[in-house]
Amino acid sequence: MARRYPRARTHGAGLAWSVAALVLVFVLAPLAVVVMMSFSTSEFVRFPPPGYGLEWFRNFLGRDDWTGAALRSVKIGAIVTVLAVAIGVPGALSLAALPRRLGAVAAALTTLPILMPPIVLALAMYMSFTRYGLAGTELGIVLGHLCLALPFVLLTTLATLRGIDPNLARAAQTLGAGRARVAFTVTIPLAMPGILAGAVLAFLTSFDELLIALFVGNSTTRTLPRRMWEGIRSEFDPTVAAASTVVVGATVLIGLVFLIARSAWKARAS
């Protein structure tokens, strides 16, 4: 009987790796198809491509409608990230100071924007922003994206704050530090990995959001996801595939930068 345990563990590990590989293929296969099509030499969306080249990347970078939309998405994403961190970090500190159960209820309420159906939220924003003259403006898009991005900063920061030893803040207070000084010199530096994670999620949420850009924005405030959606509807060349590849590459790059920054911060803190 004792000899069967290693063999059973080997079979279990093999099954786990097989399931993980199948899931990975299921998730990445559509991305691989899009990336291959972005390098196609065909004038139409066609798979498999008859050849490979960089023509559609040159078309993407050489057209103002594509590059303008991409730059606008980056600008709006950066503004949304700054606002989400500026509002979310103090909000997380306030929630962490509440009693455990009350803080849990308040944190659950902050997740409502990301739990609601996106079409309902976008329609509500359109009706509200039209009344106040914000529809069709970049400010309206920023406010709409902020509603979706803020919960990520709140929740990731709050989760990190709850893992910090409260005795560290008490020790700083016994040494004469006020609440503000404790927050800026002890609590926030220790919570920085969670803040960075929330900032990355906030930027990616804003950068990838389509429905709010469709309902709240217009042709003069076109973001990259909206331009890609319009390309799918009215164009038949692989430029939209090239734009998708650029977005995927940018997302992977941002993720790598975040991992490096997080590792460096943890090494510095330790």
Neighbours of 99 (CB within 10 A): 8
Q: Are 226 and 69 in contact (CB under 8 A)?
A: yes
Q: Are 248 and 35 in contact (CB under 8 A)?
A: yes
Q: What is the pLDDT of residue 105?
A: 84
Q: What is the pLDDT of residue 11?
A: 63
- Reading the chain (270 residues) residue by residue, the pLDDT tens digits are 445 555 556 666 777 888 888 888 888 888 888 888 888 887 777 777 788 888 888 888 888 888 899 999 999 999 999 999 999 999 888 888 888 788 788 888 888 888 888 888 889 898 988 888 888 889 999 999 999 999 999 989 888 888 877 777 777 777 777 777 777 777 778 888 888 889 999 999 999 888 998 898 887 888 989 988 888 777 777 888 888 888 888 888 888 887 887 777 767 766
Cα 97 to its chain centre, rounded Å, is 27
Q: Are 258 and 192 in contact (CB under 8 A)?
A: no
Distance CA 17, CA 14 (A): 5
Q: How far apart are the first and last CA of the chain?
A: 46
List CB contacts of 239: < 8 A, sequence separation 6 or more. 56, 59, 60, 63, 66, 231
- For domain 66-269, the CATH superfamily is MetI-like (1.10.3720.10)
Q: What is the pLDDT of residue 248?
A: 85
Q: Are 125 and 216 in contact (CB under 8 A)?
A: yes
**E strand map for the chain:** none
Q: What is the pTM of this model?
A: 0.83
Q: What is the pLDDT of residue 153?
A: 92
Q: What is the pLDDT of residue 95?
A: 85
- CB-count burial class (<10 Å; 0-12, 13-18, 19+) for 154: buried
Q: Are 28 and 35 in contact (CB under 8 A)?
A: no
Closest by CA to 76, choosing from 246, 192, 208, is 208
Q: Are 176 and 209 in contact (CB under 8 A)?
A: no
Q: Would you give the DSSP letter of residue 112?
A: H
Q: Which tokens sit at 45?
A: 């969306």
Q: What is the pLDDT of residue 269?
A: 61
Q: What is the pLDDT of residue 10?
A: 64
Q: What is the pLDDT of residue 1?
A: 45
Place of tokens 């970049």: 138
Q: What is the pLDDT of residue 6?
A: 59
